[in-house]
A and B are shown apart, each in its own frame.
Chain A
């Protein structure tokens, strides 16, 4: 073994604070060290050229560079080795700048420590093995789960880039939650109007042919890995032929069945065959087989009889499971609201006139249960509205966080109430106000200037909604300690945004973890919020964290970006060789490794009794290597032998 050691002077930064002569002499006595070279600035262009040329001349088996932190230039020096015809992993750096000379003022002590660190590097590099980047063909198609703003934007972006997209939506309609909001903060754009161009593009645009839209569909199985997922999707039949239906709605009125309309949060009724709401896209009714009289064996054909086209209403279609292959998945499954029944003092579900903000959105919407009239579905127009901000937020017993959007929509409500019924008394009960953003402040400012609006800052636990005896009212204790009671016709609760109700099922199915609040956990909160912990599965929109539409759409674009750069056209998937590798002969099949792997990279093929690491999913942390009781897993480039040799040498 011939190891070449390069000592970088770093322009005196290192060489003036250390005795390189003594180090050189000591190193030359160490077995394996063939030569020691001193270079002024190894990282400079000249330095790298010198290194490449010298490697060509000296032809060492291994290289040690004693210089700055490997976090700075290790990659660059690896490239130099590669240029010189060596395997790039035959390099080891000794960090004698940041971790020695810059922190050790005494020259003798610095020299001794540097010498030990370089000896460690020499001992280790002698055991380095050639490693190679692997390449793999990958499927470029993508499955997007959820057709809200994030999912739609993501699907469209990928389709525009030429990708085939399967867009899986569990409801019969596109647009997610915001399509049900008449107006959006901060600019009072109409929700359906904002989303309609996007939905129209997805349905009928120039790239729509690349988007396979599956409504009433849910992912029910996932196998495989990044670049090659097998996705099983279960689709409930619509029982209405989407290709032939002209969307006239003639089929709906004759239907004799009435069930609570989930799209208006049960505030009104719909028929068994229905459009979720006026203007819903795709403009094709769906037949709810569970509600239909035919499910009880009755021979009702009212809808089919009313349909002007033969064969559009198709009774008896059965659920089917569709299999698709995809290189990546994007989860844009949307959000839920914290269940206000956990806050019994606020009267939700027990006191008439108390509603959640989502229900209130529908009350305000012209396509909603009251046709946009500001009143409870079967009540009188409201003259007094109480809006309860932070209903369960900022509270360890419920949700400790601020959702960041509630104040914005609460002030939107303020604006809309004043517009619809001028003079309506509005009371904002809040604990904290959060209206950051370059446009968002305007709505708050408007609410502050609204003469009919008052603000009450309540203390934690200082709010109670009473009624119906004595009339609907909010009793409060404010932050100054005074108590009061304000009568209201409608109380709107603004609860914390949470993960969607079915996020847990999806999490188990896809193997991507939820955080402690029920949102899909991101790989990193700041740097990688659109990546899940599993390679090739991305998260976008409010299923990852509470967020507004603009952030959801941006995150969707980020997720699409990951797919387009990771599964780029004309490029194979690159697999880093720094992964764990199982020695099958030693593996006892105890599965300890699988239990500690955070990336689900370790599996047990049914036919074998030993673990197998998927290098595509492995991030190379080495936790399984350390956990294996049989020493049956090797951590490439950080093998037990390499590290033990380094330990021995730094202590020698």
Chain B
């Protein structure tokens, strides 16, 4: 294998092939990450498009992480938490839902569709639900296509989010 091949190897899809969305999934350690493990133990297959970032609690997911994921080239973001009432830290998942609602409003101002930032609950036992949520998200983002080039810089240069021109600068 040549060095060029090696460098272009790591990611599903190629410029010539069909669009393969890149999605970052923030999973809480106690429920949804364990749910993803459960799907693995049961050897259920699902689309490989989600890159998993583990956090202790969904409440740790800073809005900045989501924005940064889009800036770094993600086409979608998945936020998964323990079910309401099941949070290992009592109410971090509730904080996460509030933050997600806020995020959707911010993202809308950048022209980023709601379907690109999905929040859902996956318990440690819900391997099947994890697979379903991932599959649905991948399909939804695939249908939307790549994040518009004016919103994110896919390669080269400094990736940045550009505000739509209708928003007046302060």
Contact = CB atoms under 8 A, between A and B. Distances in A.
Nearest to A115: B10
A109 B7 contact: no
A175 interface: no
Contacts of A638: 55-56, 60
Interface string A17-41: 0000110011001000000000000
Interface stretch (A246-254, A561-569, A614-622): A614-622
Interface in B69-118: 69, 72-74, 88-92, 95, 99
A102 interface: yes
B72 A103 contact: no
A102 B41 contact: yes
B39 interface: yes
B145 interface: no
Nearest to B62: A626
A112 interface: yes
Contacts of B140: none
Interface in A609-652: 619-623, 625-627, 635, 638, 640, 643-644, 646-648, 650-652
Contacts of B74: 647, 651
Contacts of A22: 1, 6, 9
Contacts of B11: 112, 116
A106 B13 CA distance: 13
Contacts of B91: 598, 623
Interface stretch (A92-100, A161-169, A226-234, A315-323): A92-100
Interface string B20-61: 001010000100011011011101111010011111110111
B36 A651 contact: no
Nearest to A70: B54
B68 interface: yes
A110 interface: yes
Given A25-B1, A112-B9, A625 B53 contact: no
B57 A621 contact: yes
Nearest to A533: B90
B56 A71 contact: no
A578 B48 CA distance: 31
A363 to B, nearest CB: 40
A325 interface: no
Contacts of A507: none
Given A596-B95, A646-B53, A623 B60 contact: yes
Contact of B41 (A98, A113, A115): A98
B3 interface: yes
A271 interface: no
B64 interface: yes
Contacts, number: 151
A643 B90 contact: no
Given A25-B6, A110-B48, A102 B56 contact: no
Nearest to B55: A638
A113 B11 CA distance: 7
Nearest to A628: B62
B19 interface: no
Nearest to A104: B48
B12 interface: yes
A105 B43 CA distance: 9
A647 B50 CA distance: 12
B38 to A, nearest CB: 8
B5 to A, nearest CB: 9
Contacts of B54: 70, 95
Contact of B36 (A98, A119, A598): A98
Given A99-B36, A103-B40, A625 B62 contact: yes
B144 to A, nearest CB: 17
A643 B55 contact: yes
Contacts of B41: 98, 102
B95 A627 contact: yes
Nearest to A513: B90
Contact of B39 (A21, A25, A71, A103): A103
A626 B56 contact: no
Nearest to A101: B40
A644 B60 contact: no
A619 B56 CA distance: 10
Contacts of B90: 533, 598-599
Given A621-B59, A650-B24, A98 B92 contact: no
A647 B65 contact: yes
B51 A98 contact: no
A646 B74 CA distance: 13
A117 interface: yes
Nearest to A28: B6
Interface string A580-624: 000000000000000010110000000000000000000111110
Contacts of B55: 622, 638, 643
Contacts of B10: 26, 111-112, 115-116, 119, 652
Contacts of B72: 647-648, 651-652
Contacts of A536: none
Contacts of A635: 60
A278 to B, nearest CB: 46
21 contacts: A29-B7, A98-B37, A111-B9, A111-B10, A112-B9, A113-B12, A596-B59, A596-B95, A621-B56, A622-B60, A623-B60, A623-B91, A626-B99, A627-B95, A638-B56, A643-B53, A647-B65, A647-B69, A648-B72, A651-B24, A651-B73
Interface of B: 1, 3, 6-7, 9-12, 22, 24, 29, 33-34, 36-37, 39-41, 43-46, 48, 51-57, 59-65, 68-69, 72-74, 88-92, 95, 99, 131
Given A22-B6, A115-B10, 9 more contacts: A29-B7, A69-B37, A97-B40, A103-B40, A104-B45, A109-B12, A622-B56, A623-B57, A625-B60
The 9 A-B pairs with the shortest beta carbon distances in the complex, nearest first, are: A98-B40, A622-B60, A623-B59, A621-B89, A650-B51, A621-B57, A598-B90, A115-B10, A102-B40
